Amino acid sequence: MPNTDLLPSLLFKINENQLALEAAIMELTNWAEQRGAADAAENIRGALDTIDKNEEFIKLTLAVLMTPE
């Protein structure tokens, strides 16, 4: 298998990891907020918005890369 065939799978796994990290960070954010760190939680959610905004582009790009020619 050529190395270029591995690229879509690699990008898919990186995207999966990114989404898992986002979920874990959100859990920690909720935990921190429940303990009085509302300002920190708000800042973290703002940073996580970037992941959400980029997620659709990443999914579309992966779909294109994984479509056979």
Write down the pLDDT at residue 4: 67
In one-letter notation, the amino acid at residue 52 is D
Cα–Cα distance measured from residue 60 to residue 8, given in angstroms and rounded to the nearest whole number = 12
Write down the pLDDT at residue 27: 96
Cα–Cα distance measured from residue 42 to residue 49, given in angstroms and rounded to the nearest whole number = 11
Write down the pLDDT at residue 10: 85
**Tens-digit pLDDT profile for the chain (69 aa)?**
566 678 878 888 888 998 899 999 999 999 999 999 999 999 999 999 988 888 888 888 878 877 776
Task: Please give the DSSP secondary-structure letter assigned to residue 67.
Answer: S
